[in-house]
Amino acid sequence: MAHFDCIPSLFHLAFGKNEMDKSIEEGTEFVKKKLERDFNKLSDRTKEEIKDRYENIMKVLFG
């Protein structure tokens, strides 16, 4: 769940820290998949509690 509070750090990981030679599309997809994996690892109860927040984050960042 921490990644949902530190989204800029995921973009930094994708484009900076690991020095990935990624296009904007590849880096953005990396962040999107990471957030999806993190959400899917949550318990059903926790998913329900943050579902609206997760959906809003995904909508704002990825359309």
List, in order, residues 6 or more apart from 58 with CB less than 8 Å away: 32, 35
Please state the pTM of the whole predicted model.
0.84
- Helices within 1-63 (DSSP H only): 7-12, 24-41, 44-62
Q: Output the tens digit of pLDDT for each of the chain's 63 residues.
A: 667 888 998 888 888 765 566 688 888 899 999 999 999 999 999 999 999 999 999 999 999
Q: What's the number of domains the chain is made of?
A: 1
Range of the domain at 21: 2-62
Q: Nearest to residue 4, comparing CAs of 45, 55, 63, 43?
A: 55
**C-alpha span between 38 and 40 (Å, rounded):** 5
- Tokens 């296009």 belong to 23
